[in-house]
Amino acid sequence: EEGGGRGGGGAGAGDAGVFAVPGLPHEADFGEVAPGGGAGDAAGADVGADVEDVDADDEVVYGTTVAIQDVRRRFRTFLEEFPDPNDPQVSLYPRLLRQCRRTEDHTLTINCAYLSRFDPQLCQQLLRYPMEMVTIFDAVVGEAFASLFPDADGGEKFAVRVWNLGVSHRMRDLNPSDLDQLVQVNGMVIRTSAVIPEMKRAFYRCAECDDEQLVEVEASVLKEPAKCTVPHCAASKSMELIHNRCVFIDKQLLRLQETPEQIPDGETPYTVSLMAYGPLVDLVRPGDRVVVSGVYSAAPMGVTPRRATVKSIYKTYIDVLHIAKEEGGARGGQTTVPELSDADLAEAAGPEDVVEEVRTAREAEFIAMSKDPDLYERLARSVAPSIWELTDAKKGALLQLFGGTSDGFGNGSAIGAFRGEINILLCGDPGTSKSVLLSYVHKLAPRGIYTSGKGSSAVGLTAYVSRDPDTKQAVLESGALVLSDNGVCCIDEFDKMSDTTRSVLHEVMEQQTVSVAKQGIICSLNARTSILAAANPIDSRYNPRLSVVDNIQLPPTLLSRFDLIFLVLDKPNPSSDRRLARHLVSLYWGEPEERPDILDADVMAKYIEYARRV
Reported as a pLDDT band with limits 50, 70 and 90, residue 577 is confident
Residues 127 and 182 in one domain: no
In angstroms, rounded to a whole number, what is the distance separating the alpha carbons of residues 138 and 126?
13
Share of the chain above pLDDT 90, in %: 23
Q: Which neighbouring-strand residues pair with 236?
A: 227
In angstroms, rounded to a whole number, what is the distance separating the alpha carbons of residues 71 and 50?
12
Is 252 part of any domain?
A: yes
In angstroms, rounded to a whole number, what is the distance separating the alpha carbons of residues 352 and 279?
13
541 has pLDDT over 50:
yes
Residues 268 and 415 in one domain: no
Last residue of a domain, one of 337, 362, 382: 337
- β-bridge pairing 107-111 and 159-163: parallel
Average pLDDT over residues 330-337: 41
Contact between residue 306 and residue 285 where contact means Cβ atoms under 8 Å apart: no
151 has pLDDT over 90:
no
What size, in residues, is the chain?
A: 614
367 has pLDDT over 90:
no
Residues 60 and 171 in one domain: no
Lowest mean pLDDT among 236-240, 412-416, 432-436, 510-514: 412-416
Residues 563 and 426 in one domain: yes
Residues 424 and 503 in one domain: yes
Lowest mean pLDDT among 40-44, 182-186, 260-264, 540-544: 40-44
Residues 50 and 194 in one domain: no
Reported as a pLDDT band with limits 50, 70 and 90, residue 135 is very high
Highest average pLDDT, of 31-40, 95-104, 324-333, comes from 95-104
Residues 386 and 404 in one domain: yes
504 has pLDDT over 90:
no
Phi and psi (nearest 5°) for 583? Answer: -65, -45
pLDDT at 246: 92
Lowest mean pLDDT among 99-113, 254-268, 319-333, 530-544: 319-333
Contact between residue 133 and residue 22 where contact means Cβ atoms under 8 Å apart: no
The CATH number that applies at residue 171 is: 2.40.50.140
The CATH number that applies at residue 578 is: 3.40.50.300
Mean pLDDT of the chain: 79
- Greater confidence (176 vs 341) lies with 176
In angstroms, rounded to a whole number, what is the distance separating the alpha carbons of residues 388 and 394?
11
DSSP 583: H
Reported as a pLDDT band with limits 50, 70 and 90, residue 122 is very high
21 has pLDDT over 70:
no
- Greater confidence (344 vs 175) lies with 175
Reported as a pLDDT band with limits 50, 70 and 90, residue 359 is low
- Greater confidence (612 vs 587) lies with 612
Is 280 part of any domain?
A: yes
Last residue of a domain, one of 103, 131, 157: 157
Handedness of CA 419, 420, 421, 424 (dihedral sign): positive
Is 6 part of any domain?
A: no
- β-bridge pairing 83-84 and 87-91: antiparallel
Reported as a pLDDT band with limits 50, 70 and 90, residue 44 is very low
578 has pLDDT over 70:
yes
Reported as a pLDDT band with limits 50, 70 and 90, residue 20 is very low
- Greater confidence (329 vs 350) lies with 329
Residues 322 and 455 in one domain: no
DSSP 195: P
322 has pLDDT over 80:
yes
Residues 90 and 126 in one domain: yes
Residues 128 and 226 in one domain: no
In angstroms, rounded to a whole number, what is the distance separating the alpha carbons of residues 4 and 156?
9
pLDDT at 182: 94
Is 302 part of any domain?
A: yes
Is 15 part of any domain?
A: no
In angstroms, rounded to a whole number, what is the distance separating the alpha carbons of residues 534 and 564?
12
- β-bridge pairing 424-428 and 530-535: parallel
CA-closest candidate to residue 488, choices 421, 429, 584, 404: 421
CA-closest candidate to residue 38, choices 174, 178, 135: 178
Average pLDDT over residues 457-463: 85
Phi and psi (nearest 5°) for 194? Answer: -70, 160
Residues 146 and 180 in one domain: no
When divided into structural domains, the chain yields a total of 3
Last residue of a domain, one of 315, 337, 359: 337
Residue 34's domain comprises 23-157
Residues 379 and 462 in one domain: yes
Label each residue of 91-123 as H, E or C: EHHHHHHHHHHHHCCCEEEEEHHHHHHHCHHHH
pLDDT at 345: 41
Reported as a pLDDT band with limits 50, 70 and 90, residue 386 is confident
pLDDT at 2: 42
Can you list the positions of beta strands (E) in 530-577?
530-535, 564-568
Residue 549, helix vs strand vs coil:
helix
Which residues, including other chains, have CB under 8 Å from residue 22's CB and lie 6 or more apart?
A: 5, 6, 28, 135, 138, 139, 142, 157, 158, 159
- Greater confidence (204 vs 414) lies with 204
